[in-house]
Structure 1
Amino acid sequence: MPTSSDHAIASGFAGRPRAVQWLALVLLSMLLAGGLLLLQLPAALLLGPLVAGIIISVAGAKLQVPAAVGALSQALLGCMIAHMLPGWSATTALAAHWLLFVLGVLAVIGISAALGWALSRLDILPGTTALWGLSPGAATAMTLMAEAYGADVQMVAFMQYVRVLLVALIASLIAHSLGLNASHGLAGGDWWAPVSWLALAQTLAVAVVGIVLAHGLRWRVGALLLPLILGAALSQTGWVHLAMPPWLIALLYAAIGWRIGLRFTLPLLRHVARALPRVLASSLALIAACGGLGMLLVWFDGVDPLTAYLATSPGGADTAAIIAASTSIDVQFVMTMQMARLLAVLLLGPPLVRLLAAQIERRRHARAGAGA
């Protein structure tokens, strides 16, 4: 039940005109992102709006990134990744490590499933919530599946997006500690550097076509993947030239940060308050386990630490892409691992979670029957 302190917290923007709420969100995002840029923190343009979204939302603002803007930001992120990918020769060289990618993808899925199963089995988190909440990647798909199978949807969504936030923060701190300062290309005069308007129009066209195809196929993550695939194929063959001017990248990062941050509403935080220590502990345990897997890549394959961390991190592919783009690391390695895992999670995640959930429920019913 809401308390007087809850109402006091939420009264900051409750009832204020929507334009005032958006203005406050934009100004706070600029302030936080600017401060993080001065600290040369990677992904500052994502983390600033993300944290601003959390603050404004908890303060009572009723804002939501429009679905069309969310889809366009995902599509443009796909185009940005496609624009960063090197030529076919590098892709062919990367394909020689296919076994490494397969093992890495399966290991992350296995670690998350094992940890979720253990937490559910020990009743550390209620029902099958841990299984759905710890599934790596595809947060929206896992939340929908959790709802269909009777899990605590709010808790699952909270676990998914807390992990995304933690992965982004930890990656930025690792990059900063390694001296990999932000390389957004957005400092000083770079903001309004000349851009080919034809290339920009082609980029927007690829993004829109990808969105339309994803909508027609009813493929939620297609808004990110289809523009990435189309953009990479068309740009590598010379049919189009992709352009991502700094101001467009900043807007894209802000939209994605707001989309995540504005989900952290006061009712949601109140709902999960008692479980917060367990949620944080389970998320950090999963991140640490995947970080250990990343260290194996460092030791046995010579991958640099931040590349290995981002490639194996259980956060979203979009945040991994943004952080990778903000630093001088192997973007293609990171995105190949992330995209392979995303596809694997979409294919293997739901049946695996259903299998483990059914096993846990059978054990619970058996114990209940024995105790009756």
Structure 2
Amino acid sequence: MNTLLMPLPPRSASQALLLTLLIGFISAMLCQWINTPLPWMIGPLFSTAAARMAGAELRCPVQVREAGQWAIGTALGLYFTPPVLRVLVSYSGFILAGVLFALLLGLVCGWILHKLSGTDRTTAFFAMAVGGASEMATQGERHGAMVDRVAAAHSLRIMMVVGIIPFLFKFSGVQGEDIYVPGARVVNYGGLMLLVLLTAACALLLKRRKLPNAWVIGPLLVTIALTSSSLNLSALPEWVVHFGQLFIGISLGTRFTPEFLHTAPRYLASVAICGLLAMAIAASFAFGLAAVSGMHPATAVLATSPGGIAEMSLTAKTLQLGVPIVTAFHVTRMAALVLTIGPLYRLAQRVKTNRRS
């Protein structure tokens, strides 16, 4: 009798991964059926997050996330034709303004998070920096931040951005008429195999050198180099892009553990408030940028939003809103943030010390 009441044995890693993929796939199909924005990412993200917080034993190995990043990085790079690069050069000043704005936004929201939640300034600083979760957690750890809180803040921020901005655009009827189209529009399987080899090799090289987002940036750089040289090896099959989104969705969703909601509720609530505030401030900046630059306001919102490269660029691709512009803004911001976040933190510490003295 007692044996019937014993808990089920834990699933193997492969079983947990298969369950995760099954939940993600079913939810993606459901979201596609009800016509949500970004169904292949939003469905897997929210379904696996809910299942994970409910106690389901789910798993997403880093290799799955990297496969998703590869698909998105390669798909985005195909948009960077020679005419597009000429347009981006004309936007270089606005891209620089967007980077400076992102740095300032992180500083302001970090200060607000510190005041609202009572968490230490270092943790708040790295939690609100508009960068990737893993990179900011690593940088924060070097300077004494609470790594779990930094990672939780970035996971919640990305989830909020993905769950709010695409839906707002979808239900407000925002739809662009993007003049930018991929250089390669036909799938050539011989060319596709060569493209896979070249992009994967670059990603592995960047990862070995411990550069951030290697499986997005590596394929992106290779496909930009090829496409800008009018070497169009192959388009990506649509199912590859769909599964890339699914893999990114489950990699984000499985970060939300059963303990997530029970850890520092005041801190998480403060992060949510700061996330909403950051989106509102970024949107205000975006409308001003659009008025000055002439870009579509929705494109400017995606380009300056506190979201990730893949998520915001995919939204732009789905809604036909300036994919290369959005990608260029986010890639430049990410690179600048990784290079400057350490010196920026030390500068902030010196300013605080000088004020006290």
Output the TM-score relative to the length of structure 1. Answer: 0.84
Task: Give the alignment of 1:1-372 within 5 angstroms.
Answer: 15-18=10-13, 20-85=15-80, 87-120=81-114, 124-180=118-174, 195-357=187-349, 359-360=351-352
Q: Displacement, 1:91?
A: 1.4
- Of 123-132 and 144-153, deviating more is 123-132
Q: Displacement, 1:211?
A: 2.0
- In structure 2, give the amino acid aligned to 1:47: I
Distance 2:141 2:37 in 1: 35
Distance 1:130 1:347 in 2: 19
Query: What SS is found at the alignment partner of 2:320?
Result: coil
Contact kept, 8 Å, 1:124 with 1:278, in 2: the verdict is no
Change (3 A) 1:29 1:255: same
Contact kept, 8 Å, 1:159 with 1:279, in 2: the verdict is yes
Q: Displacement, 1:160?
A: 0.7
Change (3 A) 1:57 1:122: closer
- In structure 2, give the amino acid aligned to 1:126: D
- Of 127-136 and 200-209, deviating more is 200-209
Distance 2:308 2:269 in 1: 22
Instruction: Encode CA deviations 1:194-250: one digit per residue, 9 max, x unaligned.
Output: 842113212311231122211232213232112111111123324451321111111
Q: Displacement, 1:177?
A: 2.4
Distance 1:215 1:298 in 2: 35
Distance 1:24 1:263 in 2: 15
Distance 2:160 2:107 in 1: 19
Unaligned stretches of 5+ residues in structure 2: 1-5, 178-184
Q: Sequence identity of aligned pairs in percent?
A: 25
Count how many residue pairs are aligned between Structure 1 and Structure 2: 345
Q: Displacement, 1:17?
A: 5.0
Change (3 A) 1:157 1:358: farther
- In structure 2, give the amino acid aligned to 1:141: E
- Of 166-175 and 299-308, deviating more is 299-308
Q: Displacement, 1:110?
A: 0.9
Unaligned stretches of 5+ residues in structure 1: 1-10, 184-192, 368-372
Change (3 A) 1:92 1:362: same
Distance 1:315 1:149 in 2: 24
Q: Displacement, 1:262?
A: 0.4
Output the TM-score relative to the length of structure 2. Answer: 0.87
Instruction: Encode CA deviations 1:249-299: one digit per residue, 9 max, x unaligned.
Output: 111111111111101101233223232221110111111111111111233
Contact kept, 8 Å, 2:113 with 2:270, in 1: the verdict is no
Q: Displacement, 1:56?
A: 2.4
Q: Displacement, 1:122?
A: 6.8
- Of 196-205 and 17-26, deviating more is 17-26
Contact kept, 8 Å, 1:116 with 1:131, in 2: the verdict is yes
Distance 2:306 2:8 in 1: 33
Q: Displacement, 1:340?
A: 1.2
Query: What do you get for the CA RMSD once the two structures are aligned?
Result: 2.8
Q: Displacement, 1:74?
A: 1.7
Distance 2:224 2:253 in 1: 30
Q: Displacement, 1:123?
A: 6.1
Contact kept, 8 Å, 2:20 with 2:48, in 1: the verdict is yes
Distance 1:17 1:181 in 2: 44
Q: Which runs of 4+ in 1 moved over 6 A?
A: 11-14
- In structure 2, give the amino acid aligned to 1:351: P
Q: Displacement, 1:327?
A: 1.4
